[in-house]
Amino acid sequence: MGYYEPRWSAEEQTMIDVMEIKGYRVSADINKESTTIHIHSPDGMEIRTIKDTEYEAIRVAFDRWNKVKNAKD
């Protein structure tokens, strides 16, 4: 069970870049058992997504972020 750095595909990195451009901070906690994506909004809210793989985690986190962001707009 060790932590390691994400290896995002171009598509996944684009999702992260979009969230960061909009002012959100994105971090990942990745280990052999699961991947947790933390998205922190400028106003202090956090969206946390835990999935089995990096691929699944970033896509679900982005979808959740998009829904929350659109609800605020």
**What would the DSSP string read from start to end of 23-38?**
T-EEEEEE-SS-EEEE
- The reply to whether 67 falls in a domain is yes
* pLDDT for residue 51: 96
* pLDDT for residue 2: 55
The CATH number for 39's domain is 3.30.160
Q: How far apart are CA 59 and CA 37, in angstroms?
A: 10
Domain that holds residue 46: 10-72
**Model's pTM, two decimal places?**
0.84
- The reply to whether 62 falls in a domain is yes
* pLDDT for residue 3: 58
Grouped pLDDT means (10 residues each) for the chain, 73 residues: 70 94 94 92 93 93 92 74
- The reply to whether 55 falls in a domain is yes
- The reply to whether 59 falls in a domain is yes
* pLDDT for residue 4: 63
* pLDDT for residue 73: 67
Q: How far apart are CA 53 and CA 18, in angstroms?
A: 21
